[in-house]
Structure 1
Amino acid sequence: MNGKLPHIVQYQGSKRILAPQILQYIPKKINRLIEPFSGMAAITIAVAMQKRASHYIINDLNEPLVRVLSEAVNDPFGLVKDYKKIWEAQFDFVGGSIEHYYKVRDDFNAGDRSAANMLYLLARCVKGAVRYSNAGCFNQSPDKRRNGTSPKNIEKNISIISSMLKGKTDFMSKDYREVLKLARPGDVVYMDPPYQGVCSSRDNRYFSGIDFDEFVEAIEGLNKRKIDYIISYDGSCGDKRYGVDLPEFLGLKKVLLNAGLSSQSLLLGKKEVTFESLYLSKNVQKSVPLQKNCQLSLF
């Protein structure tokens, strides 16, 4: 991939670092790229940077997150202006920047779920890690070591992102199965759902998990309709596995992407490499040569 991939803000679970590896399995020219579990849409941005698709669909159940993406693309200067006002207010806030963060978080949870408030919480919270309570309230703590991404850096990145996606992107906040119904032959669906272990029950990074059997059924539906798709779903680190393989009858190929050394294992004095799984649908397998620098598990 040519050039550095722009991003709006740090976001835990983002596929930004793995994007160059994932792009190796996405055809060079497609009609639309559809992301039903977009997060901060790193793969959409990566595909747009290489002009591989004519149109994009970005969806996530986290509606304020989608609002950030929509405004970043369609009204980048308005979003930066609103964000800058919130970001600068922390330095004059009575009680300091930490209390300012909690004030913005309280406002957000009370109903002011504007794109600028969401962006500030993402920019300032610990490790860019979204966390929600059972009641659906944002409850992640602030990172006390930094003040969040500067408006200048955000403006630079979202200006680039807007130039690539404006007028070419639809934004949604629906159940992933509704979004899959929109897919047509010639599109590619990239799915990065909650990892197994959190899929069958509520996970505090998401408004809801996904049911494994329902997900498999949805994939079967894509097969029947001859829709091309790629799925990031499980992984491993050392002897530890995260989830089980998707069923063999789906006819997928599982590629293991090298995600680098595990930071957790390094803290324990080990050097264990983390691998994340990428599942390729039948037609994607045929149209894109498998890469030599990735491990492959054949079903």
Structure 2
Amino acid sequence: MAKIPHLVQYQGSKRNLAPEIIRYFPDKINRIIEPFAGTCAVTILSAYEKKGDKFIVNDINQPLIELMRECVNNPERLYQSYKKIWEGQFLNGEDNNTYFYKMREQFNAGDHEPAKMLFLLARVVKGAIRYNSQGMMNQSCDKRRFGTKPDVIFENAIRISELLKGKIEFYSLDYKEIFEIAKSGDLVYLDPPYQGTSNRKNPRDNRYIQGVDFDEFVDSLYKLSCKGVNYIVSYDGKTGDKSIGKLLPDELGLTHLYINAGPSAQATLNGKNEITYESLYVSKGLVRKSDRYQQLCFKFA
């Protein structure tokens, strides 16, 4: 079986967990909506598995959403532009790390060309974009590698375009505006910035261009429920015996499950062998009896 295409490594992407997440998608879906789309891992897998044929993706990080728009609508142009930028790091005897910082400086000055965003994502440490308090990208480059080769970008971009072109709408709005678009019959998958990454006193976190307030998010989910829209939320979780963040309230009527996200990188660095479980909150109408049984087994194991 062919590998599921993905454009670039991106910290926080649900690419590895997407097969478990889409298990809870209903058989009949009007539109699949991702208000916090990132690099669209769940949308791409949903299209590959024919879970839907109409998609709405949104991310408040506009350069990121423009990158995905270019990938879907103009994959060959994205490839050619990326190839030119990628090859530039080996020309004129310039140190390739210095070249990265020159590209980052141009991006922060307002040059948000999709291929430039892609190059920066391909070269930052752990695929993890970081921002300072002024919203400027400030993550360092990974000195051990040169970024994804253009031919790999080309292959994946073409395949993503084949899956999604003509079936997808792109937005860069506040997530609450996307909630207004959702209707009964749609399926909304939410992967917001996790708790501890933002609050009212510090709305910007270096991991995200903009954070999400917990109470506002809960209120917005209530409104989505009142509209009769089914949704699934990836949100925090637990590592070992340590819970991360507040649970979403029972009053939302969601079923709370856990997905094994693998060994905790931080615990491994500290010499511990602990597994991270990510919370998955699912509209109850989407959960089968067998899934509820698995939930109980996990809870009381």
For residues 1-299 of structure 1, the aligned pairs below 5 Å read 3-200=2-199, 201=202, 202-285=204-287, 290=291
Partners of 2:45 and 2:250 in 1: how far apart?
Answer: 29
Aligned to 1:210, what secondary structure does the other structure show?
Answer: coil
Name the aligned partner's letter for residue 263 of structure 1. Answer: A
Partners of 1:232 and 1:121 in 2: how far apart?
Answer: 26
Name the aligned partner's letter for residue 54 of structure 2. Answer: H
Partners of 1:85 and 1:18 in 2: how far apart?
Answer: 33
Distance of aligned partners of 1:105 and 1:146 in 2 relative to their CA distance in 1, 3 Å threshold: same
Distance of aligned partners of 1:107 and 1:171 in 2 relative to their CA distance in 1, 3 Å threshold: same
Partners of 2:234 and 2:266 in 1: how far apart?
Answer: 21
Q: Over aligned residue pairs, what C-alpha RMSD do you find?
A: 1.7
Q: Deviations over 1:251-285 (max 9, x none)?
A: 11111000111122222222111100000113223
Partners of 1:55 and 1:163 in 2: how far apart?
Answer: 14
Q: Percent identity?
A: 51
Partners of 1:176 and 1:184 in 2: how far apart?
Answer: 15
Partners of 2:82 and 2:92 in 1: how far apart?
Answer: 15
Q: Deviations over 1:82-110 (max 9, x none)?
A: 00000000001443111110110011011
Q: Is the 8 A contact 1:255 1:277 kept in 2?
A: yes
Q: Is the 8 A contact 1:254 1:296 kept in 2?
A: no
Of residues 144-153 and 274-283 in structure 1, the stretch that sits farther from structure 2 once superposed is: 274-283
Q: Is the 8 A contact 2:197 2:207 kept in 1?
A: no
Q: Deviations over 1:20-74 (max 9, x none)?
A: 1111111233111100001111000110101111210110010000011000000
TM-score, structure 2 as length reference: 0.94
- The CA deviation at 1:4 is 2.2
Partners of 2:94 and 2:116 in 1: how far apart?
Answer: 19
Partners of 1:19 and 1:29 in 2: how far apart?
Answer: 18
Q: Is the 8 A contact 1:70 1:171 kept in 2?
A: yes
Q: Is the 8 A contact 2:130 2:138 kept in 1?
A: yes
Partners of 1:160 and 1:3 in 2: how far apart?
Answer: 11
Partners of 1:130 and 1:206 in 2: how far apart?
Answer: 8
Name the aligned partner's letter for residue 250 of structure 2. Answer: E
Q: Is the 8 A contact 1:253 1:297 kept in 2?
A: no
Distance of aligned partners of 1:93 and 1:33 in 2 relative to their CA distance in 1, 3 Å threshold: farther
Q: Is the 8 A contact 1:33 1:190 kept in 2?
A: yes
Q: Is the 8 A contact 1:126 1:143 kept in 2?
A: yes
Q: Is the 8 A contact 1:255 1:279 kept in 2?
A: yes
Aligned length: 296
Partners of 1:6 and 1:283 in 2: how far apart?
Answer: 30
